[in-house]
Amino acid sequence: MNNEEQAVHVERSINRGFWKKEMVGWIKTTIIIVIIVMVIRGFFFTNYIVYGQSMMPTINDGERIIVNKIGYEIHTPDRFDLIIFHATEDTDYIKRIIGLPGDHISFKDDTLYINGKSYEEEYLIQIKEDHHDGIFTNDFTLEEVTEYSTVPEGYVFVLGDNRQNSIDSRQIGLVKMDDIVGKANLAYWPIKGFRLF
């Protein structure tokens, strides 16, 4: 083997070694990224596809959303948060928190009252304008739809934004905080509907 052939052989060996190291590096990086994504998805965030019209117009049928699973480990839920919770063993619902522990809830003349104070539900302005059949949320009190006069500790009272087409605490009762999966943070699909909640 002459000097020129030896040089080519050495160069090929160096190139093979370089590409081998590069491939191993890329494979390690990919494995680490996959593990990080799985950990983040498993413990911190998850995604859901929303089925049904109970949260329209805030969230539409078929939209994909990201849910923060760790937030409520750090702090308690806030009034008007959008939450995912286990409604049954096989089904999760998305609804809006209306009542927190200690709250008395009532609706009169399409107005929300919490502990006797009226609240304007700004997130319902558009759907109320589009709703031409009169009252959007029928009158009720917490006592009429549950066995409680105030929301007990460890529970929340939830409603869907589409009040005429929602199965919520008026039918299924109060939601245990332990059954809350997390807070809906954003819609990401379809892409034109990308927004933070």
Catalytic residues: 54, 95
3-class secondary structure, 180: strand
Closest C-alpha among 174, 194, 176 to residue 185: 194
> Cα(57)–Cα(125) distance, rounded to whole angstroms?
10
